Amino acid sequence: MLVIAAPGQGAQTPGFLSDWLKIDSFADRLTWLSAVVGLDLAHFGTEADAETIRDTAIAQPLLVASALAVAHELFPQSAHGCGTADIVAGHSVGEIGAAALTGAINPEAAMVFVRERGQGMAAASAVQPTGMSAIVGGKPDEVLAAIDAAGLTAANYNGSGQVVAAGTLPQLQALADNAPARARVIPLSVAGAFHT
């Protein structure tokens, strides 16, 4: 079984597109997608620092464009980029890339939508500093109780043993300072309390 999974925010790292951009067809596709959204995605994927690409107005179009361009390199004969995949899925903003890879929406529409989504979420996140942290391990009831005690929202259930909490930065720090037994609290590289 072949599954294509398009990543969500936090997957981007400085320079993550450097090797991909050595491939002419990838660079051409990224240039085209950059023009659609009016951003220099090649710059953000190669030269920008971690803080710059954490900005959701940049991260979201960057990740969707990356998913589309990478899939087309892996499956160049596919009309939409998903090749012979049995399942195409996306995590959070990756759902937009997945929708385009299956042909549910075209790449241009996906990029315009993700640009608007990213800008709107960036504006909402600028009102008050917020973020997200993954809680890995611990007993589920104790993890949820700790999230609640800190005044946070359980934003994502990413499978057995991982819950993502979202809220204000002081609330996230309180959770980290009072982590549930046998659990790690890992701050995520996102610009807001998304999924709340």
Q: Which residues are catalytic?
A: 92, 195
Closest to 81 in 3D by CA, of 92, 90, 71: 71
Taking the C-alpha atoms of residue 18 and residue 115, their distance in angstroms, rounded to an integer, is: 22
CB 37 within 8 A of CB 112: yes
Query: Is 76 exposed, middle or buried (CB count within 10 Å of its CB: 0-12, 13-18, 19+)?
Result: exposed
CB 192 within 8 A of CB 120: no
Got the DSSP string for 51-107? Answer: HHHHSHHHHHHHHHHHHHHHHHHH-TT-SSS-TT-SEEEESTTHHHHHHHHHTSS-H
